[in-house]
Amino acid sequence: MTTTLSSIFPSVENIPEAFRISQPIDQREYLINGELRIWNGNLNPVLSPVFVKEGDEYRQQVIGSTPLLTSRESLAAMDAAVKAYDLGQGYWPTRSVTERIEHVERFLASMRTRRDAVVNLLMWEIGKTKKDSEREFDRTCDYIVDTIKAYKELDRNSAKLIEEQGYMAQIRRVPLGVSLCMGPYNYPLNETFTTLIPALIMGNTVIFKPAKYGVLLIRPLLESFQTCFPAGVINIIYGRGRETVGALMESGKIDVFAFIGTNKGANDLKRLHPKPHRLKAILGLDAKNPAIVLPDADLENAVSECITGALSFNGQRCTALKILFVHEDIVDEFIKKFNERIARLNPGMPWDNDVSLTPLPEPGKVEYLAELVNDARQHGAEVVNEMGSENHLTFFYPAVVYPVNSKMRLYSEEQFGPVVPIVPFSDDSKPIEYVVNSNFGQQVSIFGTDSKRVAKIMDAFVNQVGRINLNTQSQRGPDTFPFNGRKDSAEGTLSIADALRVFSIRTLVATKSTDSNKQMMSTIIRNRESAFLSTDYII
């Protein structure tokens, strides 16, 4: 092991005081029916990916614990959500758009006051750098602001009657029922809130179970949820997935299942629901996004985008570039430049200045990545960058693996970590066939300058993936863009506007355009006799 790696984990004095967690945070609260209840049962320890040096030893930091609730508590959360929805007659689903927006605005204002606490826990729990943790928090706040804006816009567009073929009607979007929202560990705040907030604002009631890692960071927001939403509208539970969430799905009372995680996890849970066609699923799942670097690509740009695409947050993004197809004419030059750029990335702790490479939160991840690299070695590839695949405890230094072929696990398995497989190619049909035959279909990035060639490859992918990136890395943002995937990569489309649609359904009031019907419609509207049939325009 090089000195860089052996000295990566700090001793306690080397952790800036502002970021230290002096006392473990033993969380016992969970939110059901507007009450912060106290759990007296078993707790789940929260291990940080950060180890601290004590003399010659390293100790993994236990930063707290969270409640290990059982199916009993999760079913109590469901009862609360079912009651608050009350078959669509509850207080929340019958509130006006303006009233629901006011609740969400209050929540946002309260959430903003908890920024430092959430950011600190993001760093400690999942090892995300300070800059990226701050970005995740701020992006989430922006998402809420934009969701409110989009909801007003949606409502304004519905604040009118339409006339068609002798009928007049008003069409509005209404909620679906009880939503179960679960997010991933890599964006435990942002990705969860991109379903949770639209679900709430549209009038659904919600059961939220935080991700496997990145759980404690929701605690600073519990009170905001409690005080800003009516009882039962948002319920937050903790514990093992199979026991808590399994019981919810088996009950058949979940109407919407919003899940960002693995394809296997989604399959196992969806299967438990006894009424499959009454369950609406919104899923963000596995991906193996390739980059294709053509011989005439602007190499500096391609390298720079592939570095960010493959290695930001240590490659732990669903949208990360997880395999690079590089044309054989430029592959040596590409690897040289790529490796130079990796060498400039600083390994360290999440709070260190200018740090890019940090420890990994998933137990066993380092061993798993080493296994993938060894498998590739056995099939003829090598690690071609200095220090590549060196590891220490929870830290794994990025490995550039070359030349990768279809016999290797890295060719098709989603590594979700800092290993970059490079496949040389001479014929453009090779990466095209890879995408066409893949089980995944989220995104692809094409790097090149020959418009005809780029257009041909691009067109080959339009029916395969959700987004084709030209000379840029794969990514979700801007959040107004549709975010989805084909095959095993997703179900449904999310974006600020789309998320409002997926958590709602259009309902209309229609009548024949006779004089008496018109008169009744206008009386209802004029006297504000209905909450649905209304032409009030939100400012």
Binding site for ligand G3H (CB under 6 A): 186-187, 191, 317-319, 475-477
Strand order in the sheet with 382-383: 382-383, 399-402, 419-425, 321-327, 289-293, 443-447, 467-470
Q: Nearest distance from residue 338's CB to ligand G3H, in Å? A: 20
Strands of 280-284's sheet in order across: 35-38, 29-32, 234-236, 205-209, 178-182, 256-260, 280-284, 490-491
Q: Output the smallest distance, CB 323 to ligand G3H, in A.
A: 16
- With H, G, I as helix, E, B as strand and everything else as coil, classify residue 176: coil
DSSP string, 193-251: HHHHHHHHHTT-EEEEE--SSS-GGGHHHHHHHHHHS-TTTEEE--S-HHHHHHHHHHH
Q: How far is the CB of 207 from ligand G3H (least distance, A)?
A: 22
Tokens of 219: 């605690």
Shortest Å distance, C-beta 313 to ligand G3H: 7
Q: Which two tokens stand for residue 282?
A: 């919104």
User: Residue 457: what residue type?
Assistant: I
Looking at beta carbons only, is 37 or 487 nearer to ligand G3H?
A: 487
Residue (320 or 401) nearer to ligand G3H, CB = 320
Distances (CA, A) of 413 to 371, 439, 475: 12, 10, 19
Q: Which is nearer to ligand G3H, 204 or 319 (CB)?
A: 319
* Pick 158 or 319: Cβ nearer ligand G3H: 319
Contacts of 360 (CB under 8 A, 6+ apart): 49, 127, 314, 316, 366, 394, 395, 396, 417
Nearer CB in complex with ligand G3H: 187/259? 187
Structure tokens at 77: 């959360």
Rounded distance between C-alpha atoms, residue 131 and residue 128, angstroms: 8
CA–CA distances in Å: residue 291 to residues 64, 372, 377, 432, 446: 40, 20, 22, 11, 6
- Is the Cβ of residue 100 or residue 317 nearer to ligand G3H in the bound state? 317
Give the shortest CB-24-to-ligand G3H separation in angstroms. 28
* Closest to 481 measured CA to CA, from 469, 463, 464: 469
Render 322-379 in DSSP notation, one character per residue: EEEEEETTTHHHHHHHHHHHHHTSEE--TTSTTEEE----STTHHHHHHHHHHHHHHT
- Give me the least distance between CB of 195 and ligand G3H, in Å please: 11
Check the CA dihedral 445-455-493-479 and report its sign. Answer: positive
Residue whose entry in the numeric block shows the structure tokens 């990025």: 398
- Least distance from ligand G3H to the Cβ atom of residue 441, Å: 15
Q: C-beta of 171: minimal distance to ligand G3H in Å?
A: 31
Name the residue nearer to ligand G3H (CB basis): 303 or 318: 318
List Cα–Cα distances, 267 to 47, 246, 281, 297, 502, in angstroms. 28, 12, 11, 40, 19
What sign results for the dihedral spanned by CA atoms 159, 160, 164, 168? positive
Nearer to ligand G3H, 147 or 475 (CB): 475
Looking at the Cβ atoms of 203 and 284, the one nearer to ligand G3H is 284
Q: How far is the CB of 194 from ligand G3H (least distance, A)?
A: 8
- Least distance in Å: CB of 40 to ligand G3H? 35
CB of 309 to ligand G3H, least distance (A): 9
For residue 27 the two structure tokens come to 């969380």
CB of 316 to ligand G3H, least distance (A): 8
What does the alpha-carbon distance between residue 508 and residue 229 come to, in Å, rounded to a whole number? 28
Give the CA angle between residues 182, 188, 190 to the nearest 5°: 95
Report the residue number, 306 or 318, with the smaller CB distance to ligand G3H: 318
Q: Residues 6 or more apart from 87 whose CB is under 8 A from it?
A: none
Residues written for the chain: 539
CB of 364 or CB of 477, closer to ligand G3H = 477
Those residues with Cβ within 8 angstroms of residue 353's Cβ, 6 or more apart along the chain or in another chain: none
Among candidate residues 234, 232, 10, the one with its CA nearest the CA of residue 107: 234
By three-state DSSP, how is residue 171 classified? strand
User: Closest approach of Cβ 523 to ligand G3H, in Å?
Assistant: 48
Nearer to ligand G3H, 48 or 316 (CB): 316
Nearer to ligand G3H, 191 or 414 (CB): 191
Closer to ligand G3H at the Cβ: 395 or 483?
483
Q: Provide the minimum distance between the beta carbon of 284 and ligand G3H in the complex, in angstroms, as a whole number.
A: 7
